[in-house]
Amino acid sequence: MRAHKTLLPFLFKTAALAGIAAMTTLSTAALAADDVSLYTTREPKLIQPLLDAFTKDTGITVNTVFVKDGLIERVKAEGDKSPADVLMTVDIGNLLDLVEADVTQPIESKVLNETIPANLRGPEWYSLSLRDRVAYVAKDLDVSAITYEALADPKWKGKVCIRSGQHPYNTALIAAMIAHNGAEATENWLRNVKNNLGRKAAGGDRDVARDILGGICDIGIANAYYVGRMKNAEPGTDNRKWGDAIKVVRPTFASADSKGTHVNISGAAVAKYAPNKENAVKLLEYLVSEKAQGLYANANYEYPIREGVKLDPVIASFGPLVVDPLPLTEIAKHRKQASELVDKVGFNN
């Protein structure tokens, strides 16, 4: 049947609009193919050098969204319309919370599975860098080895500094102590460490170094990467003075069959409804590449997940890192109990 001549302009216009719509859809899809969206609780400036390198090497643009708080709530609210491809955070507890909230998905990646040790990954989450929880020790003290348990020794009475016991860095360490030694022994340990505090458990990790310089304490527990920042700071600055006042000793667990230092992580997962899943996997694989791991080590002073990566000289001076082989998932099981013990013994009071 032939169209009525009065309908021809309308049909031509409709066909043209449909063609434009199709072209728009196609160009949007093509654009999406060159993008990946990252939701991160990490300060963007800390990881921007890695993302810039990824874009330069792959041509894939990273759309970064910094979510300081409420990452799970945001992704859940967006549902299957969420543009998030990769979810990145720090602390194993925060990462596993994403998995338990059902906002991630499992992926298959030979690169990730071969690069990341089994105790530092899961089907839906991957560690990207390590944060070893070490002892800051006054530089003139004759201490070259120590266990975490030894911080409860009365010889350290009034000489220990540490941040809040409820901080995720410390609840993870306490959870590891529970996993190794049991809840009762860990409670006694916490009470004795509290008795050894030279000041209230508060502040940040760099404050431990500050207070060692100030003579308030002789030893404390904090993350190693802060020392990289302090010792690489400009001479004469407070950070440099604090860093120069301490040395780093990597503790181990006295009761562990395989001696190793407790680590926490920065890590990531692919979002459940990732519209660019292929690019999401590419980004994660890139972040464990030798190049990206070198940037982690020399820009953020975090310990690389990949073996054989050249370290910042300050971090290298601490010696090889032997990681506690206890799976992070096993540690994470005890987070709630660790937090309850902190309150029970009044650690922060």
- Residues 228-279 have pLDDT tens digits of 999 999 999 999 999 999 999 999 999 767 689 999 999 999 999 999 999 9
Size (the chain), residues: 349
Q: Is 136 one of the annotated binding-site residues?
A: no
CATH number of 107's domain: 3.40.190.10
| Residue 9, pLDDT score | 40
Query: pLDDT category, 164, cuts 50, 70, 90?
Result: very high
- Token pair in block for residue 87: 């979810």
pLDDT band at 45 (very low <50, low <70, confident <90, very high): confident
Residue 152 DSSP class: G
Q: Which of 21, 238, 250 is nearest to 134 (CA)?
A: 250
Q: Are 146 and 251 in contact (CB under 8 A)?
A: yes
Give a yes or no: residue 21 inside a domain. no
Domain assignment present for 239:
yes
The pLDDT of residue 43: 84
218 with 104, same domain: the answer is no
- What integer pLDDT is reported at residue 244 of this predicted model? 98
Measured distance CA(83)–CA(36) in Å, rounded: 9
* Same domain membership, residue 57 and residue 198: no
Domains contained in the chain, number: 2
Same domain, 244 and 331: yes
> What local confidence, expressed as pLDDT, does residue 33 receive?
65
Quote the mean pLDDT of the chain: 90
211 and 331 housed in the same domain = yes
Domain membership of residue 301 (yes or no) is: yes
Domain that holds residue 87: 33-129+263-310
Looking up tokens 């990273």, which residue turns up?
62
Q: Is 225 annotated as a binding residue?
A: yes
The structure tokens 């002073």 sit at 301
Least confident of 33-47, 225-239, 334-348: 33-47
